A and B are shown apart, each in its own frame.
Chain A
Amino acid sequence: MKGTLKLAFKLLVNDTAKFTALLMGITFAVFLMMFVTSMFVGVLNHASATVINIGSTIWVMDPAVQTVANTVGMPDYVLDAVRSMQGVKYAVPLYSGGGLAKLSDGSYQSVSIIGLDDTSLLGRPELVEGKIEDIYAQSGFIAVRDAEFSKLGNPHIGSEFELNDNRGVIVGIAKVNTSGLYGTPTLYTTYERAAQYLPNPRYTISYVLVEPKSLSDVQRIKQQVQALGYLALTKEEFMQRTADFFVYKTGGGTNMLIMVLISFTVGLSISGQTFYTFILENLERFGALKAIGARSRDLVAMILFQATFASFTGYGLGVGLSVLSIWLARARLPSYAAMLSFGNLAIGFVMVAIIAGISSYVGIRRVLRIDPFEIFRG
């Protein structure tokens, strides 16, 4: 390390009280920012659970659909039409809905039902118990072992329940990548059985899952579906549409933004003020350095280094604290909706860079303005 930077480092860290205050301010601000944004990202991720778990390349839906959970039924001809479109390798229907299950102990529990195409079982989950073909058995359902699993009374293969006075039997236990957002257990069955067991609206197809012949066909399929009066979205687009709904139409995005700004303000005021006090306390000595022969750029480099070092150490600690908190929360609440993404790490990084920039700017201005003559004058 260059000597003047080592000097700056020692001046900073040897002032234990101020360095601790600086770190705590930035760490706390980063922790708040990370925590709020990671919770939001987690919620958005859970909101797209069905899209992630089914994993189809293209989803065809009614244009009124805003999130994967709010389906609008489509008539059967849509499936036939999509199957006949150019570029489509295959297309299958998907049922997505909810019901009220009566458990063996007599209690009722809301459940999410996913009805997979009877022929292909496209989007089937990975089983941890049982065999997938048993889904064709009479009244066969597969329960998902996620955070909501216990709400079904921790069923095992052979457990029975009722769904709209129809008997259901658990024939397999599955695991999925992402739990749902709404706190209801998920049951997989065949499309036909789902449509048969649950109250039927006029149209039963929630989505048509499409596999294109090649990725270059995606755009063409989307245009053909649009011409039909429906909407085709890729998996990523559907997740983004769901996220946009929560960000822009529920107030969630605004709340998150407000929290991020509050965290930023807290971090900036604590660290900016502490750093400024640190500079003020050492102002005469910086003036003495100037008199001795330090160039302005040496002093600027020293202050920038101090602000940057404190800020990014605080950033690291804040991110670490967030990871620890999320890990601890998940250890107790498996469905805890928080996840760190590169996006929220980047937001935190930018915020901390701004804090470092503003803090050092204020310090640099003060130090550059000090006249070494004042040191002589006392």
Chain B
Amino acid sequence: MPRIAIQAKGLVKWFGEGEARTAALKKVDLEAYFGEMVYIVGPSGSGKTTLLSVLSGILKPNEGSVEVEDVDIWRLDADSLADFRLAKIGFVFQDFHLFPRLTTAENAAIPLILKEKDWDESIREAAGYLEIVGLKGRAGIPPVKLSGGEQQRVAIARAMISKPDILIMDEPTASLDGDTGNAILSFVRKNVLDENRCVVVVTHDSRIYEFATRILQMEDGRLTPTTEKSAK
């Protein structure tokens, strides 16, 4: 029986007030398991990103609860929630959000630095992770000198360095060409996903669906029945 990594119940989220109020999530239930690479797919405006933000402790829902590894994250105070994200969740953003004035190693080391780990040790560890994501010898250069795919690998190294149990990827291929996108997701599926980790990917890029273990369709704020996929 696979262990539950994320369990969301009755999630409701709306934006705006009065007549301008728009419901982004309408009673969403979701379970994600360790060892899974869950895709949340759907058209723009369907509520994918809102759901991802609520699941990862970024955006508070109006109703419902989210348990990550049995911790009801929306009952935590702001500092505890920040600490929880830092310890348990790794983020790969659509636009990478790397600091252009830092080296790739310094960028990748940020979660460790936020955890107050020794600077030099953090940089050494980051250089190791950059090797794992295929960026050996690139630790000392700024990310602006890397290609889009390489920058996404730096972002993955940054997300992985704190050894999170949950990896959140928001439109990871949006800024990449098809081949690079495939290579990145293939890398994540083969090297990042394991039985103690859950990867949640929000995307509308059908070219990378093949790397999912399960695909959840989102439409108009609701999740539609699950599509199970075979292991790749």
Question: B residues within 8 A CB of A295?
Answer: 78-79, 82-83
Does B172 sit within 8 A of A, measured CB to CB? Answer: no
Instruction: Decide if B177 is an interface residue (CB 8 Å cutoff).
Output: no
A250 contacts chain B at the CB level, 8 A cutoff:
no
- Answer yes or no: B145 CB below 8 A from chain A CBs: no
A292 in contact with B106 given A4-B113, A375-B93, A378-B95 (CB within 8 Å): no
Q: Which residues of A contact B119 (CB under 8 A)?
A: 1, 3, 6
Known: A10-B101, A14-B101. A289 touches B53 (CB 8 A): no
Q: Mark A282-315, 1 if CB is under 8 A from B, else 0.
A: 1011011111111110100000000000000000
A378, B87: Cα distance in complex, Å: 24
A284 to B84, CA, bound (A): 21
Cβ contact of A377, chosen from B49, B83, B112, B113, cutoff 8 A: B49
The reply to whether A376 and B58 form a contact with Cβ atoms under 8 Å apart is yes
A296 adjacent to B78 (CB under 8 Å): yes
Interface: A373 (CB within 8 A) = yes
Closest Cβ neighbor of B83 among chain A residues: A293
Q: Does B91 contact A (CB under 8 A)?
A: yes
A105 at the interface (CB under 8 A from B): no
Residues in chain A near residue B82, CB distance under 8 A = 290, 293-296
Q: A288 and B113: CB pair below 8 A? A: no
Interface string of B60-103 (1 = CB under 8 A from A): 00000000000000000011001111110101011101110110
Residues from chain B with a CB closer than 8 A to the CB of A332 are none
Q: Give the one of B59, B87, B117 with max A CB within 10 A.
A: B59
How many CB-defined contacts (below 8 Å) exist between A and B? 92
Q: Which residues of B contact A3 (CB under 8 A)?
A: 112-114, 116-119, 122
A372 nearest in chain B by CB position: B58
Q: Is the CB of B58 within 8 A of A293?
A: no
- If the complex has contacts A3-B122, A10-B106, A11-B101, are A292 and B85 also in contact, measured as CB distance less than 8 A? yes
Docked Cα-Cα span, A3 to B112, in Å, equals 9
Most buried by B among A15, A291, A293, A377: A293
Is A294 touching B114 in the complex (CB atoms < 8 A)? Answer: yes
Interface code A1-27, partner B: CB below 8 Å = 1, 0 otherwise? 111101100110011000000000000
**In chain B between 27 and 42, which residues have their CB closer than 8 angstroms to a CB of chain A?**
none
CB pair A293 B85 closer than 8 Å: yes
**Cα A373 to Cα B106 with chains together (Å):** 24
Q: State whether the Cβ of B165 lies closer than 8 Å to any Cβ in chain A.
A: no
CB distance from B12 to the nearest CB of A (A): 16
Partner of A375, one of B79, B97, B116: B97
A295 CA to B87 CA, complexed, in Å? 13
Chain B positions 153-184 with a Cβ under 8 Å from a chain A Cβ: 158, 170
Residue of chain A at shortest CB distance from B52? A376
User: Does any Cβ of A come within 8 Å of B111's Cβ?
Assistant: yes
Which residues of A are found within 8 Å of B170, using beta-carbon distances?
376
CB within 8 Å of B: which of A320-378?
371-373, 375-378
Question: Do A7 and B113 touch across chains, with their CB atoms under 8 A apart?
Answer: yes
> Given A298-B114, A373-B53, does the pair A7, B95 have CB atoms closer than 8 Å?
no
By the criterion CB–CB under 8 Å, are A285 and B52 in contact?
Answer: no
Q: Tell me, yes or no, whether B139 is within 8 Å of chain A by CB.
A: no
The answer on a CB contact under 8 Å between B95 and A289 is no
Q: CB-CB < 8 A to B133: which residues of A?
A: none
B110 sits at the interface (CB 8 A): yes
Query: Is the beta-carbon distance between A11 and B94 smaller than 8 angstroms?
Result: no
Instruction: Quote the shortest CB–CB distance from B168 to chain A (angstroms).
Output: 9
Q: Sort A-B residue pairs by CB-CB distance and give the 6 closest, nearest first.
A: A293-B86, A14-B101, A288-B97, A3-B113, A293-B85, A373-B59
Beyond the given pairs A2-B116, A288-B91, 15 more chain A to chain B contacts, judged by CB atoms under 8 angstroms and listed by A's residue number, are A3-B113, A3-B118, A3-B122, A4-B113, A6-B119, A10-B101, A10-B106, A291-B93, A292-B111, A293-B82, A293-B84, A294-B114, A372-B58, A376-B94, A378-B94
Please list the residues of chain A having a beta carbon within 8 angstroms of any beta carbon in chain B.
Answer: 1-4, 6-7, 10-11, 14-15, 282, 284-285, 287-296, 298, 371-373, 375-378
List, sorted by A's number, 13 A–B pairs whose CB atoms are closer than 8 Å: A3-B118, A3-B119, A284-B95, A289-B114, A291-B56, A291-B93, A292-B111, A292-B114, A293-B83, A293-B89, A294-B86, A294-B114, A375-B97
